[in-house]
Amino acid sequence: MTLHTFREGGPDAGLPIVLVHGFPLDHRMWLAAAAALPGTRAVLAVDLPGTPGHGADLPEPSIDASAAYLASALAGAGVERAVVAGMSMGGYVALALAEQHPSLVAALALVDTKSTADLPEARANRLRIADEAEAGGSVAPVRPMATSLLGETTRAARPALSEQLAAWIEDQPPTGVAWSQRAMAARPDRTEVLRTFAGPVVAVVGDEDDLTPLAAAEHVVANAADARLVVVPQAGHMAAFEQPDAVAAALAELAERADSLRA
Ligand code: MLT
C-alpha cells in the first residue's frame, strides 16, 4: 500500500491534506507533523516510486512520473481535490502535480523546497550518487544525509532524530535512491507553474536549512499570487520532522484558507 491514511476525514471536515515526502525517505517523515495537525480533515501520505514497497519495476526516472503515480493513487482513493504539502523532493512532485492536474490541487504547501531546477554541478553530483548507489547496491552514498538534513540545533541537542533518519535511510532500496536522484536531476524549473497557480500557497522553511535556504522560500513567495512565508525556528531542511508542531500549524492555516475560498 503506497497511499497511507494517517487520519480518516470526519463529515464536513474540509479538504484533505496530502503529504509528499522528501529524499531519501518515505511517508514516515510526516508522522509527527500529521499527528500534530488539528481538526478532523483527512490526512494522507504517499510513498513515491523508489521507496520500499514499489519493487524494482520503475518507469524512466522523472518527477513527472512520481506526480502521475500520486495522481493515480489519489484517484484510486477517490480524492478529487486536496491541499498538497511537499517537502523538498515532495515539493518538486507537488509542483509537477499542480501542472499536470490543476483541478486536483486546491492549495500548495512547499516545505523546505524550491521551484527552480538544479544547477549543473548539483545535477552532476546527483548522477554520481545514483551511479554509486546502483553500482555498490548500497545506500552508503546518502548515509551522511541522516545528519546533513538536520539543522545545527537539532544535530547538537537531539541525536535521536539523526538516528531515526539513519534507520529510515537504511530501509530505502539502492535502486530507488538512484531512481530518485536521476528523477530530480532531470526536473525542469517549475516557477512558471507557481506563477499560474490559482490557489493559496505557503512556503515553509527551517531557519537553519542550508540545502534549500530562506532565499528559495522567498523566491516561491515572490512568484505566487497568494503566498505566505513561514520561517520555522531551530529547524534545518527537515523542519517537518524537527519542529512538527510549527509545520502542522502552517499546513492547518493553509487548509483553512483553501476551505474558505471553496465555501
Ligand atoms: C530532499 O530532502 O528531498 C532532498 O534534499 C531533495 C534534494 O536533494 O533536492
pLDDT tens, position by position, 181-207: 999 999 999 999 999 999 999 999 999
Tell me whether residue 84 is in a domain.
yes
DSSP, collapsed to helix, strand or coil, labels residue 245 as helix
Domain that holds residue 254: 3-116+188-262
Q: Give nearest CA residue, ligand 1 atom 4.
A: 23
Tell me whether residue 93 is in a domain.
yes
Query: 213 C-alpha vs ligand 1 centroid, how far in Å?
Result: 12
Q: Name the nearest CA neighbour of 30 among 245, 208, 259, 244.
A: 244
Output the nine-digit C-alpha cell for 209.
Answer: 536549512
Candidate of 115, 212, 241, 242 to mutate for ligand 1, largest count of ligand atoms within 8 Å of Cβ: 212
Is residue 251 within 8 A of residue 86, CB to CB? The reply is: no
Tell me whether residue 175 is in a domain.
no
pLDDT band at 243 (very low <50, low <70, confident <90, very high): very high
Total structural domains within the chain:
1
pLDDT band at 12 (very low <50, low <70, confident <90, very high): confident
Tell me whether residue 198 is in a domain.
yes
Q: What is the ipTM of this complex?
A: 0.90
pLDDT tens, position by position, 24-66: 999 999 999 999 999 999 999 999 999 997 767 899 999 999 9
Tell me whether residue 168 is in a domain.
no
Q: Which atom of ligand 1 is nearest to the CA of 87?
A: 3
Tell me whether residue 151 is in a domain.
no
Beta strands 17-20; 82-87: pairing state: parallel
Section 10-34 average pLDDT:
96
Tell me whether residue 208 is in a domain.
yes
Beta strands 43-46; 17-20: pairing state: parallel
Q: Which atom of ligand 1 is nearest to the CA of 21?
A: 3
Tell me whether residue 154 is in a domain.
no
Q: What is the DSSP letter of 171?
A: T
Query: 128 C-alpha vs ligand 1 centroid, how far in Å?
Result: 15
CATH classification of the domain holding 26? 3.40.50.1820
